[in-house]
Structure 1
Amino acid sequence: MKAWSANAFPIPVVAVGAGSQPAEDEDFDYLPMPSGMDTFAPPRLPDQIDPAARATAVATLEGLLAAMRAWSFGSAGHPVVDLGGLDSTSLALINDALGQGEVSARVDGSPALRIQETVFAGIWRVIETDAAGRRLADRIEACAMPAEVAARSRAAARAALTPPPPPVGVMNAPAVLAELLHAVDKHRAGSAAHIVNLTLLPMNPADLTWLVEVLGVGPTVILSRGYGNCRITATALANTWWVQYFNSADTLILNTIEVTALPDVAPAAADDFADSIARLAEWTAALCEA
């Protein structure tokens, strides 16, 4: 596995609207969409490991492990390890040791965020870049999901909106929008998600097009490959997300809108986080002996 660079971060996600197929994105390389659930497989280490780089990588991962063990999952102050000061050889070894997991995200803005879950659920690689794509910060965060994903999406969104009159051909979208606006108004931190399943509703292309235009697009796109192939796109309305599931042929099979702080399909669960601590401890021990 090659070291990640500021200009070639492997986030295979694109913003897509309701009922649409993913468009070509020249800035990112797409990973093959899996046909079933992934199972844990340890990352592959290089055949030859520089002793100094190994010592640095082991010390970094042991520090991360200690912080994860001391932290109560879901509480404030989650573990963060700054990688900005590491040499390229040690950084490349840490990349190899952590691998790439099932969830990727990007958050546009200043700075832009590129986020990749490692093979250890709840351990995230977070890179900040400027408008020219230059890397500003590089870190590991251990948590359900880096907090800036939801926070930056919420900060860029509107608390309410006044929709324009629907054009000819729009039938059911205004009723769906009214339901969403009511759910947004009633939403409070910690409340259950309000989900509108567009797949089960009589929505024609004009309905979907108007709904996309009215809701707008926020700064965040997430791809989750853990439970099928799921693309999650923030809208410009607060706490409102397109959640779209695709089959192995990348055909849309389930199209929903969720009013929630962050859809449940994206964050890591507490049980997965605990499992990652055990697996990372074993893998760090193996790295010491490599």
Structure 2
Amino acid sequence: MNSISLPIFGQGSQPPEEDGVELDYLQMPQEMATYRMPQVSAELNAADLAQAKTALRQLEQNLAAFPSVSEAIDLTRLNQPNRQFINELLGEGEVSLICSGRQDIRIQESVLAGVWRLQQLDGRQQIVADTVEVGIIPQHAVQSAFNGAAGQIDTHWTALPEGVMNAPPLLAELNAKIAEYRPGGEAHIINLSLLPQTEQDLAFLEQRLGRGPVTILSRGYGNCRITATGTRFVWWVRYFNSQDTLILNTLEVSDVPSVACASPEDIADSHERLQEILKVYS
């Protein structure tokens, strides 16, 4: 059999350019989050897990009932073995949220997409409430994201800071989109990465938009960091690759950016997975 010679491409494969510029490529992400069947500690005694199994059977019913809204499942009074069982079975999924306020709420999506663990913390960061709910996104995050937020961006100024050139038209565009946006409507996205923005422009936008109480991290193919601004319906969404390099910077007018949300198909899949899990540990 004759060998076949194929051309080789990539960094270092081509002769150097006359001007000394070398061929270079953006580092591609190396990891992606995937589903893994939960691993539960072998020493857990199944006879002692009645509380956890009751909670999981209710969770299975809530998943089956979606999109109907179901009451959150309270885990606060579970004893240590039952809490450990729930912790290991639900695990940690791709999306995490922090809702700041009088009492912080820490929210973690489980390995079952659309199943959310909400833990309320006191001033000493101790858990005082622990619940599980099913949904596209936890309702507490939606309700608290823009609680007390400004309805419009303040566009009154006597003089712009030095270096600010392109931010003012974006603020006017955002104000127009905020005024016409209705909950559940189509998101409006401004891609800052494609626009000529100076560092002063970005700082001015951040100062005028303010900062809200909700921060979201979505880990999938790289990371997406989302913050609610201090202006109603406006989110700052930044995408990073696995090297923590900013690759996309956007402002979004929406209820919650879709990258943080589970889909109805995700929830249906989670229902099937939980049924499989319950068969193993029943």
2:243 to 249, 258, 266: 249
* Structure 1 segments (4+ residues) deviating >6 Å: none
* Residue 131 of structure 1: aligned partner: 123
Mapped to 2, the partners of 1:277 and 1:261 lie a distance apart of 25
Is 2:80 aligned against 1:88?
A: yes
1:274 paired with 2:274, answer: no
Per mean C-alpha deviation after superposition, the further-off stretch among 220-229 and 166-175 is 220-229
- Residue of structure 2 in register with 1:208 after alignment: 202
Query: Which of these two proteins has the greater Rg computed from alpha carbons?
Result: 2
Cα 1:112–1:193, aligned 2, differ >3 Å: closer, same or farther?
A: same
**Which residue identity lines up with residue 255 of structure 1 in the other structure?**
N
The root-mean-square deviation of aligned C-alpha atoms, in Å, is 1.4
Aligned match of 1:36: 31
Question: Residue type of the partner of 1:182?
Answer: A
SS at match of 2:107: strand
Q: Quick one: distance in 1 between partners of 2:126 and 2:40?
A: 27
In structure 1, give the amino acid aligned to 2:278.
T
The answer to whether the aligner puts 1:120 opposite 2:117 as a matched pair is no
* 122-131 vs 158-167, greater mean Cα deviation: 158-167
2:44–2:81 Cα contact (<8 Å) kept: no
**Of 178, 185, 193, which aligns to 1:191?**
185
Cα distance in 1 between the residues matched to 2:261 and 2:70: 14
The offset of 1:150, in angstroms, is 1.5
Instruction: Say whether 1:53 aligns with 2:48.
Output: yes
Which one-letter code corresponds to 1:56 in the other structure?
Q
Give the Cα separation in 2 of the matches to 1:67 and 1:255: 36
Equivalent position to 2:98, from 95, 101, 106: 106
- Tell me the CA shift for residue 128 of structure 1: 0.8
Q: State the alpha-carbon separation in 2 of the partners of residues 128 and 197 from structure 1.
A: 34
* CA distances 1:33-68 after superposition (whole Å, capped 9, x unpaired): x73332211111112112343332222201211232
Q: 1:180 aligns with which of 170, 174, 181?
A: 174
Amino acid at match of 1:118: S
Report the identity percentage. 42
Q: Which has the higher contact order (CA 8 A, sep 6+)?
A: 1
What's the TM-score once normalised by structure 1's chain length? Answer: 0.83
Q: TM-score, normalised by structure 2?
A: 0.86
User: Which of the residues 143, 146, 150 maps onto 2:135?
Assistant: 143
Deviates more, 1:219-228 or 1:259-268: 219-228
Q: Distance in 1 between matches of 2:81 and 2:145?
A: 34
Take 1:279 and 1:178, find their aligned partners in 2: how far apart are those partners?
Answer: 47
Distance, in Å, in 2 between the alignment partners of 1:142 and 1:284 is: 17
Pairing 1:154–2:146 present: yes
Alpha-carbon distance in 2 for matches of 1:81, 1:35: 37
Q: CA deviation at 1:200?
A: 0.1
Separation (CA, whole Å) in 1 of partners of 2:145 and 2:123: 18
For this pair of structures, how many residues does the alignment match? 252
CA contact (8 A) 2:100 2:214 kept: yes
| SS of corresponding position for 1:119 | coil
Q: Please give the per-residue CA displacement for 1:155-207, whole angstroms capped at 9, x wherever unaligned.
A: 13111132334211100011111111111111112210010000000001110
